Structure 1
Amino acid sequence: MSTANPHLWTVILAGGVGSRFWPVSTPARPKQLLPLASEQPLIRDTVDRIVPLVPADRLRILTGGQLSGALLSVLPELGGEHLLLEPRAAGTGPVLAWAAAELERLDPDAVMVSLHADHVIHPPEAFRALIARAAELAVGHRRLFTIGAPPTRAETGYGYIRLGAPLDGLAGDDHPEPGNAVAEFVEKPDRETAEEYLASGRFLWNTGLFVWRCADMLDQLQAHAPEFRELVPMLRRGESEEFFRLAPTISIDEALLERSDRSGVVRATFAWDDVGAWDAVSRTRPADERGNVLLGDAHAVECDNTVLYADEGPVVGFGVENLVVVRTGGVTFVAHRDRSPDLKRMLQQLPDHLRDLR
């Protein structure tokens, strides 16, 4: 499979802090370096999942300079040439444009697969097969493709994609997945709207997994994103420092995909989860018969649906339900599971010495 498309490249977004996994995820040890989905760090799982399709020499990791050593320590087969170190955090719009320009310079026919370091995907074989199919469609249709996951619950924390018309088949192609045009990108809905989306069958979760020709992405960005009209030529000339000085902080969805008439979507044939907050651990790690997830030296007695994380000494839960209890780095954190997506807001109310744990 790895030789199927010699122009296929992978970039992995691995620069975030993962503040919704505080206090375990910190600027020095963000969640992509933590074993939150398996016994390995999330970034290790992500690399292992894609390299049978795209070899390591065509892989680049987008991150900040402060994480380069830690990432290479868990990915010893990679070297510094595999890292693209962001001059500043500017959102996925600028950083993916920069990555596309860097790959285009190496390979004018490059097709970029953009992954996140914190996703859980099973089975990996189905994932690789669909990525290969999306690459065929990206080349054949000259569209910018998103992978859309069929929703399994009324999730209010994800963006959604409303399916447009099926695309015309590629010449000589009888593959069962033709891809669809995107009718609409929808921001995170309220509960009632999410339930309507789930029942309709016309909406997919926006996974943030992208496949496109680098040249097409940059051309579309220049054509449809006024903020980047003068900046894309700068990128293509290799003036990345000046580009990041001038680029706005914006997501690729807002900057390009919601504006372009060339956005497409392919339906995921694998189970997908965004490990975004502590409540996600109950979906990604094995639970006991009462729904408790125990990590480290953790023990649940007469507990239900509780996450116990022990990174520093034992943690014991007794007679509680629907909690997250974490012990690490001299800090004990307790929250209701339903509140774990709100941790960013909580952190803003903490003193600096807690908010900026190292």
Structure 2
Amino acid sequence: MKVIIMAGGQGTRFWPWSVKKKPKQFMSLNSSRTMIQETYERFSTWLPPEKIYVITTKEYLGLVAQQLPQLSPDQIIIEPARKDTAPCVALASLYFIEKGENEVLVFTPSDHYISDTEVLFNTLKSAEKVAEIGNSIVTLGIKPEKPDTGYGYISASKENTIDSNVLKISEFIEKPEIETAKKLLENKNVYWNSGLFIGKPSTIEYFMKKYQKNIWDTLKDSTDLVKAYSTLPKLSIDYAILEKADEIYTIPTELSWDDLGTWRSLEHFYNKDSDQNIKIGNVKTICTNNCLIVSEICPTLVLGVKDIIIVLTDDGLLVCHKSLEQEIKKLINMEGEK
């Protein structure tokens, strides 16, 4: 198999730490390596280096080359613009089809936390076998630890499947309200959608021609990719293909996983104090509980608050109740973050 690391996103829910000029995949959470470097190393432990590719936008080409100098130029696929994952996946698949290659591709985000590399490897090897059959696409389903409104969900069934460890997906569920999330967890075959999916380039082509013919034909027939890309819709691969196609499967896994999409993801990496606060930087608190406080600039004093996220960087100040964390992206988009 080949691995395609998708690294063109902006990570707006991590504002102001993640900003357009340097989004979160090029930053380090709590180690000497950035998230994209950790993603690369996760796969390079068991795949030859020539099997790992990155797809990113032109504006981040320099950051990719700087942080992953081991990649050759033909291992970096350039998107002319940020158009969400459907055009991204189509462009990458077409890249290999035009080279006459149809090896199974693993599409993975560049900014996820996965602790057990061996479990991931074994699961992907199983997924590869399924993806080689017909026009099958396989996702990894994460066993939910709790009802969470920050993740998409997969509802699956053992009916019409092709292997005892593989479930046929019956429904993709967008990030739900908390009551819906609680009800989902009452069902046995419900999983978090990991965002990793596996399929052959020819399979992506097949479903693109079936459900998103305009995207595929625009890319395939283009003589000016920049111009052609500008006409494409912003569309997720889930909506474009996965929610519509029949041969979509999931392999349940108990990976320790997080999509690192929100500030509370830092709970994976930092210990809380006796008042359940996470404090990063020069931060002092009194009568403050269950808060996340980050200060990269100056001494910060916080008194008498609870359940609050406070982040101060050179690029801005965020003050947010934890219950509204998912709304950060909406506010950034409304304001047109520069």
* C-alpha distance in 2 between matches for 1:96 and 1:229: 10
1:272 corresponds to which letter in structure 2?
Answer: W
Q: Deviations along 1:164-192, whole A, 9 cap, x unmatched?
A: 225234xxxxxxx6311111112222222
Counterpart of 2:10 in 1: which secondary structure? coil
1:216 to 188, 203, 214: 203
Counting only pairs closer than 5 Å after superposition, residues 120-135 of structure 1 correspond to structure 2 as: 120-135=113-128
Which residue matches 1:164? 157
* C-alpha distance in 1 between matches for 2:209 and 2:219: 6
Q: Is residue 197 from structure 1 mapped to residue 184 from structure 2 by the alignment? A: yes
Counterpart of 1:265 in 2: which secondary structure? strand
Please say if residues 17 and 31 of structure 1, whose CA atoms lie closer than 8 Å, have aligned partners that are also in contact. yes
Which residue matches 2:262? 277
TM-score (norm 1): 0.85
Q: Deviations along 1:57-113, whole A, 9 cap, x unmatched?
A: 222212122212122222232343332121111111111011011123345231111
Please say if residues 119 and 273 of structure 1, whose CA atoms lie closer than 8 Å, have aligned partners that are also in contact. yes
Q: Deviations along 1:167-222, whole A, 9 cap, x unmatched?
A: 234xxxxxxx6311111112222222211111112211112111111111211221
* C-alpha distance in 2 between matches for 1:314 and 1:266: 47
2:300 corresponds to which letter in structure 1?
Answer: V
* C-alpha distance in 1 between matches for 2:115 and 2:217: 41
Q: After the TM superposition, which of the residue ranges 158-167 and 206-215 deviates more from structure 2?
A: 158-167
Please say if residues 208 and 215 of structure 2, whose CA atoms lie closer than 8 Å, have aligned partners that are also in contact. yes
Please say if residues 36 and 285 of structure 1, whose CA atoms lie closer than 8 Å, have aligned partners that are also in contact. no
Counterpart of 1:84 in 2: which secondary structure? strand
Post-superposition offset of 1:265: 0.8
* C-alpha distance in 2 between matches for 1:314 and 1:107: 57
Post-superposition offset of 1:131: 1.4
Which residue matches 1:252? 237
Post-superposition offset of 1:316: 3.8
Which residue matches 1:314? 299
Flag the 1:152–1:289 CA change in 2: closer, same or farther, 3 A: same
Unaligned stretches of 5+ in structure 1?
A: 1-7, 170-176
How many residue pairs are counted as aligned between the two chains? Answer: 337
2:38 to 28, 40, 45: 45
Please say if residues 155 and 189 of structure 2, whose CA atoms lie closer than 8 Å, have aligned partners that are also in contact. yes
Which residue matches 1:59? 52
Please say if residues 234 and 240 of structure 1, whose CA atoms lie closer than 8 Å, have aligned partners that are also in contact. no
Flag the 1:348–1:221 CA change in 2: closer, same or farther, 3 A: closer
* C-alpha distance in 1 between matches for 2:286 and 2:272: 14
Q: Is residue 33 from structure 1 mapped to residue 26 from structure 2 by the alignment? A: yes
2:189 corresponds to which letter in structure 1?
Answer: R
2:28 corresponds to which letter in structure 1?
Answer: P
1:187 to 136, 152, 174: 174
Which residue matches 2:249? 264
Post-superposition offset of 1:144: 0.5
Please say if residues 222 and 232 of structure 1, whose CA atoms lie closer than 8 Å, have aligned partners that are also in contact. no
Post-superposition offset of 1:119: 0.9
CA RMSD of superposed structures (Å):
2.4
Percentage of matched positions with identical amino acids: 26
Please say if residues 159 and 206 of structure 1, whose CA atoms lie closer than 8 Å, have aligned partners that are also in contact. yes
* C-alpha distance in 2 between matches for 1:119 and 1:37: 13
Unaligned stretches of 5+ in structure 2?
A: none
Please say if residues 16 and 315 of structure 2, whose CA atoms lie closer than 8 Å, have aligned partners that are also in contact. no
Flag the 1:314–1:129 CA change in 2: closer, same or farther, 3 A: farther
Which residue matches 2:91? 98
2:249 corresponds to which letter in structure 1?
Answer: G
Counterpart of 2:69 in 1: which secondary structure? coil
Q: After the TM superposition, which of the residue ranges 136-145 and 178-187 deviates more from structure 2?
A: 136-145
Please say if residues 37 and 120 of structure 1, whose CA atoms lie closer than 8 Å, have aligned partners that are also in contact. no
